Structure 1
Amino acid sequence: MLSPSKNVAHYGLAWLALVLATLAGTAWWWNIGRPVSLPDAPSDRISCVSYAPFRKPGETPFNQNYVITPERIDEDLRALSQRFDCVRTYSQSNGLSAVPAIAARYHMQVLMGIWLGGVEKLNEKEVATGIATANAYPKSIRGIIVGNEVLLRGDLSPARLAGYIEQVRAATPKSIPVTYADVWQRWLKYPQMAKYVDFVTIHILPYWEDDPVQAVDAVQHLKDVYAQMKSVFPDKTLMVGETGWPSAGRLRRSAEPSVVDEALYIRDFLRYAATVDMPYNVIETFDQPWKRSLEGTVGGYWGIFDSNERPKFPMRGPVTEEPRWWLGWLAGAVGAMAFVIVGTRRRAWHGARGWLALLLAGFAAGTSAAWQVRQMIFACAAWWEWLLSSACLLGALCVAAALARRIAAHLADHHDHSEPAPWWRFSSLFALVLYDILMAFDGRYLDFPMGLFLLPGVAYGVFGLLTHEQSMPSAEQRFMACVGPLLAIAPVVMELGMNKVTWLWLGLNLAIAVPVLVAWRWHTIRLKANEAQATHQ
């Protein structure tokens, strides 16, 4: 058992942890619900915006047999024409070759894309269709983009790409300029490509930079890059072919995907674009759920409209991250009541402190679980993702509730010497270390499921403050308690210590691991003392 002085200190720390967890959950939900004042955009209209209509469940350009109907495209462009002068497409397949003809009905222009990849037969089909479309509707085509980030992906050599560009230029009207689009760094690596295009199309996405830039500084970064590229290609018109900001997903250093930051960036960019003679295209019209399989959660949330065609933010006035923020507080209240009900089962303690501990633990657990559910709404697409995530969340809640009963008993001064079943902590540690491995070695597109692991992490941390374990933790648990925090240091280092979420993740690893390490040390010391005593006898 703990000495009296340590007992008081540890009890105080346990109360502090419960209060801080409750306040953190309360404050987080309130913070994302408050309206944030931002500078207004000069107008609701945008010069050009990327258009990919694959926004409904199961729709993806990877399915070559899936065709977007002309009626669907007509419906989209009729609505988009109210705010956009031009749309950029990326391919001729899936029915998108119909876009220029339909755009003409609504007096819109098209930056028409021809998709190039590593399959020669498909490339030839794309090029042939693109040439035919350009010749049929030259007045509605602002430019032809032959290939998108082909050099970035390594699908074609610069020479083969140049051949396709020359083929398209030779077979289409001279009035339509031809270009190629890639990230600005690839243009610096292959500057010779400029001689094959009528204008240079660069992508500047501050979130995806090798050195990510936070939203408040992102437009200045774009200005700097644009000036640099103008100096490299002084004799060419320079177009920003993609720029934008995601509204949900993984934090990269200090670059945070959020609705507020997306609104901030788009508004800042449009104000800048209105002051310079710079052709541009914003990515993108609609959120694209299919991109989550390529880029993680963040890939699906670059749209100005969500996947249901609703604007995600206004161009003027305050912006709110989560209008339904009060659901987080409601979940906290439900969690508090649920933990109190669970705590009444075979209760051997009395007094207000035990009930208070259950209320605090339950409210914190409820707000954390609500955070995780919100994350699941953004991240989960397939049924099995929902099933797996829901099962993990339910398990984490059960562990947290069971530990809350024991924490309440200790804080009510009932010295409950029982310990949680070993497999609870083993399962929590195993899941956490497994995710640590993924984050350490392939974490670029992975989210941090903070709401999920906060539940067992904080619960075990508080429980460890209140009691010594009666038995030595298993070798497997001791191993995972050592490895987990070491692996969790990797994301902190890779993000240069700038990502606040990586620090919280490291803290969770320590919260669940330290009690195991302390118990290991305590039992080792006691074992050595017993051996020494036996030797003297």
Structure 2
Amino acid sequence: MRIASILVILFVSAVASVAGWGWFNRPVPVALSFDEPFPSVSFAPFRRGQSPISQTYPPPQQIEEDLKGLVGVAKGVRTYTAREGMEIVPELARKYGIDVTHSAWLGKKLDINAAEVDALIAAANANPDSIKRVIVGNEVLLRQDLKPDELIAYIRKVKAAVKQPVSYADVWAFYLRYPQVANEVDFITIHILPYWEDEPIGVEGAAEHIVKIYRLMQERFPGKPILIGEAGWPTKGRNRGPAAVNMESAAKFVRTLAKVSKENGFDYNLVEAFDQPWKAKLEGTVGAFWGVEDVDRAVKFTMSGPVQDNPDWPRHAAWAAGLGLIAALVFLRRAGDYTPARALVLAVFAQILASAVVWQATNAWVTRDSDRTIWLVATLLPGSKAWLAVEPLVRDAVTVARIAVHAVFAVLLVRVAGLSLRTGAVSCRCVWSERVAIFYAVMAWVATLLLFFNGRYRDIPNVEYLAPCVGLALWGLIRVWAFGLPWRQAFAIGQMFSSGVPARRLAGREMAGVLMVAMVLAPASESLALYLGEDFQAMHATLAEQAPLLAGIFFANGEMLVWSAMLALMALPYWAEWRLQK
């Protein structure tokens, strides 16, 4: 081949890669539109590196900047503590014409509870014009931090000391479990979060669900004003059943909430104003991405028009195209050794793997706060000042290491493919490729077990395994096309990298078996999570009622089904190895 032909092939493959990025990141139309300020938004002005866990709180200047930025976005804010730097919120809110629903955070520590209640009372009495209502405790009954009678004692103390209406905030079901709490408050504050329901609800059913729950509470507690204290949708993290997590779903839910609430006269507070990276420690990736603005205070989506999940896609596409060009060029520099078809296949293969690595790298960096490896270290050094100081550096280093493993494996795959296509050898010995592939298979099995037994806050690792899953599958197909191999020989893990001398031949059957079991366990984890839900058991007491719902949710999570399919693809090389040796 001539150099000019190689350059054309490289250019076409790079353009195709960029076009693919553009297609998958095109703006998505969302028909609903609602351009009015929110009645209230949850206000926790933490930024990256700040956290109530580490007791690193936002300074006054930052709090003022955030309140000022909400002018025109929301008419009011809801706080969650009356301390920890939030003492200045009522005064600053008055300055910017924002109403405050001020709160006391209650938990298991009685001394902190006393300080919170005293601070709330003092703030309410000092700022009767800006603090319109107060909330004593948030999801205390859900967390089982206090008993109902203990909570009621705090509510009564605040009611006796302030003039504002007093409430307690929790998931709606807990007011039904403990109706005595409703008798003590001036208004009921309920959380309606379709994503977190025991029976998750997709965004398409959100409007009906909001109205249903609100009406149910009105019927059970007639005459009591009701505030929807939290309602929102995450933009990143794992899907739960039919509740898909993405920018489109979040925009659709927020617009639906605003529209439905105005039509029905519902008072609501949107959770939340800003993304909270620190919440990833408690709730995984999904906990950090409930804001209508990201951690840098950039608006994620508007209340009308289309939305875009990844506005930075041109930069990511450029990186992917550039890395793919370099990887292909390293091998295609000896142009005379390739036919045009094989050169094109190698160039496209390199671009696909480069895109997979960039996608994984972007995802890993954005979600680095929920890295479970860091959590394991953190449990060994709880509260250590030295650990808190180095934690961000360790977290970033682990994230870079994750990205590096995928990049190295992608390079190894392109190397093997390039050498094989150039020399005509069925395979080129590369023991490290085989070892890394086996490592991926083991980790995929472990990841699925964790999802099955404790998956509520764990990400579904589709993006994390793009390089091995797509890379191995494509390499097997290339071997079928280029060398006319039967599928068993083309896909056998021991033949892909070591010229027919498999380093792990005996593990083929076992590895294929565990990955195929994982393929079933992955969607079954959704059924198990639903079955273990207390509300699910209470609402569906018999197996006859439960069975169709458990079967339905098995297939409801599209993200989980993709992971199941990826496990099947990762099992194929080991299945082929086993069948080849029979």
TM norm structure 2: 0.80
The equivalent residue for 2:122 is: 132
Q: 1:44 to 1:498 in 2, by over 3 A?
A: same
The equivalent residue for 2:578 is: 520
Find the residue that maps to 2:188 and give its secondary structure. Answer: strand
The more displaced of 148-157 and 349-358 is 349-358
Write the mapping of 1:275-314 to structure 2, written as runs, cut at 5 A.
Answer: 275-314=263-302
The equivalent residue for 1:6 is: none
Quote the Cα distance in structure 2 between the aligned partners of 1:37 and 1:69. 37
The equivalent residue for 1:50 is: 42
Is residue 461 from structure 1 mapped to residue 473 from structure 2 by the alignment?
Answer: yes
1:505 to 558, 563, 569: 563
Q: 1:241 to 1:180 in 2, by over 3 A?
A: same
Q: Deviations for 1:290-333, whole angstroms, at most 9, x for unmatched residues? A: 11111111111111122122222222233222223233433442
Write the mapping of 1:3-402 to structure 2, written as runs, cut at 5 A.
Answer: 27=20, 29-41=22-34, 43-54=35-46, 56-64=47-55, 66-173=56-163, 176-344=164-332, 350-381=338-369, 382-402=392-412
Quote the Cα distance in structure 2 between the aligned partners of 1:244 and 1:84. 14
Quote the Cα distance in structure 1 between the aligned partners of 2:18 and 2:240. 23
The equivalent residue for 2:443 is: 431
AA aligned opposite 1:392: R
Equivalent residues of 1:215, 1:265 under 8 A apart: yes
Equivalent residues of 2:239, 2:559 under 8 A apart: yes
The equivalent residue for 2:525 is: 494
Equivalent residues of 2:102, 2:134 under 8 A apart: yes
Is residue 444 from structure 1 mapped to residue 456 from structure 2 by the alignment?
Answer: yes
Q: Deviations for 1:238-286, whole angstroms, at most 9, x for unmatched residues? A: 1101101112221222222222222211112112222222221111111
Quote the Cα distance in structure 2 between the aligned partners of 1:350 and 1:50. 60
Find the residue that maps to 1:275 and give its secondary structure. Answer: helix
Equivalent residues of 2:505, 2:578 under 8 A apart: no
Cα shift at 1:126: 0.8
Find the residue that maps to 2:137 and give its secondary structure. Answer: strand
Quote the Cα distance in structure 1 between the aligned partners of 2:327 and 2:52. 47
Quote the Cα distance in structure 1 between the aligned partners of 2:362 and 2:570. 24
Equivalent residues of 1:47, 1:84 under 8 A apart: yes
Find the residue that maps to 1:61 and give its secondary structure. Answer: coil
Equivalent residues of 2:505, 2:577 under 8 A apart: no
Cα shift at 1:178: 0.7
Equivalent residues of 1:207, 1:252 under 8 A apart: yes
Q: Deviations for 1:191-226, whole angstroms, at most 9, x for unmatched residues? A: 221111111110001111112222232122111111
Quote the Cα distance in structure 2 between the aligned partners of 1:140 and 1:277. 23
The more displaced of 308-317 and 151-160 is 308-317
Equivalent residues of 1:205, 1:242 under 8 A apart: yes
AA aligned opposite 1:61: P
Q: 1:69 to 1:24 in 2, by over 3 A?
A: closer
- Across the aligned residues of Structure 1 and Structure 2, the Cα RMSD in angstroms comes to 2.7
Q: 1:261 to 1:230 in 2, by over 3 A?
A: same
Cα shift at 1:384: 2.8
Quote the Cα distance in structure 1 between the aligned partners of 2:216 and 2:188. 13
TM norm structure 1: 0.86
Quote the Cα distance in structure 1 between the aligned partners of 2:123 and 2:152. 20
Quote the Cα distance in structure 1 between the aligned partners of 2:99 and 2:257. 21
Cα shift at 1:346: 8.7
AA aligned opposite 2:249: D
The more displaced of 68-77 and 370-379 is 68-77
Cα shift at 1:344: 4.4
Quote the Cα distance in structure 2 between the aligned partners of 1:59 and 1:90. 16
Q: Deviations for 1:98-141, whole angstroms, at most 9, x for unmatched residues? A: 21222222232211111000111111111111111112112222
Cα shift at 1:168: 0.9
Cα shift at 1:288: 0.9
Quote the Cα distance in structure 1 between the aligned partners of 2:17 and 2:204. 25
Quote the Cα distance in structure 1 between the aligned partners of 2:577 and 2:66. 62
Gaps of 5+ in 2: 1-14, 370-391, 480-489, 527-553
Find the residue that maps to 2:129 and give its secondary structure. Answer: helix
Equivalent residues of 2:508, 2:577 under 8 A apart: no
Find the residue that maps to 2:168 and give its secondary structure. Answer: strand
Q: 1:368 to 1:118 in 2, by over 3 A?
A: same
AA aligned opposite 1:74: E
Equivalent residues of 2:102, 2:133 under 8 A apart: yes
Q: 1:329 to 1:38 in 2, by over 3 A?
A: same
Quote the Cα distance in structure 1 between the aligned partners of 2:310 and 2:330. 31
The equivalent residue for 2:381 is: none
Equivalent residues of 2:189, 2:226 under 8 A apart: yes
The more displaced of 290-299 and 493-502 is 493-502
Find the residue that maps to 1:33 and give its secondary structure. Answer: coil
The more displaced of 339-348 and 273-282 is 339-348
Equivalent residues of 1:369, 1:451 under 8 A apart: no
Q: Deviations for 1:18-62, whole angstroms, at most 9, x for unmatched residues? A: xxxx99996565232325243210x331111111111x2221122
Q: 1:37 to 1:464 in 2, by over 3 A?
A: closer
Equivalent residues of 1:131, 1:172 under 8 A apart: yes
The equivalent residue for 1:485 is: 516
Q: 1:471 to 1:348 in 2, by over 3 A?
A: farther
Cα shift at 1:520: 2.1
Equivalent residues of 1:244, 1:282 under 8 A apart: yes
Q: 1:26 to 1:154 in 2, by over 3 A?
A: farther
